[in-house]
């Protein structure tokens, strides 16, 4: 498994932006599909975005499409999530995830086998 550490969370006003980072170690980063999920208090963990391992095709939840951008820098073993036009209901702990499995549904949390500890994002109204 790969070890993941998120950073970049914080407090931002509605309409503002944040960029999350996830640094990986332990395995060859480029062999992993990567994703971002979030979990608000009392709610289930939900898919935000993912990027495939071989062709870097990206996938987004409909709710963030056009505002969030997922990207990866394999040379730096780092995954990013640029979040723009943030909304108060997007307050949550954001988790980075990785999987080496192929031909899977990258929108499902169960497809990922390595998780970071999470970073808190708070959007004030």
Predicted local confidence at residue 27, as pLDDT = 72
Closest CA to 90 of 51, 38, 25, 42: 38
Residue 62's pLDDT is 98
Look at residue 113 and tell me whether its pLDDT is greater than 80.
yes
53: confidence class by pLDDT, cuts 50, 70, 90: confident
Tokens of 11: 């407090």
> Which own/partner pairs from 7-11 qualify as long-range (CB within 8 Å, at least 24 positions apart)?
7/119, 8/119, 9/94, 9/119, 9/120, 9/121, 9/122, 10/120, 10/121, 10/122, 11/122, 11/124
Q: What is the pLDDT of residues 5-51, one digit of tens each?
A: 999 999 999 999 999 999 998 777 778 899 999 999 999 999 999 99
Give 1's pLDDT tier (boundaries 50, 70, 90).
confident
């Amino acid at each position: 498994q790969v070890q993941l550490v998120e950073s970049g969370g914080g407090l931002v006003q509605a309409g503002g932006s944040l960029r999350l980072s996830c640094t990986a170690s332990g395995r060859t980063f480029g062999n992993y599909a990567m994703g971002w999920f979030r979990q608000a208090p009392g709610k289930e963990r939900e898919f935000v975005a993912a990027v495939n391992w071989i062709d870097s095709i990206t996938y987004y939840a409909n709710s963030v499409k056009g505002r969030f951008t997922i990207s990866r820098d394999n040379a730096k073993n780092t995954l990013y999530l640029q979040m723009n036009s943030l909304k108060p209901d997007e307050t949550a702990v954001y988790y980075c995830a990785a999987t080496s499995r192929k031909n899977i549904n990258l929108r499902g949390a169960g497809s990922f086998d390595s998780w970071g500890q999470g970073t808190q994002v708070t959007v004030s109204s």
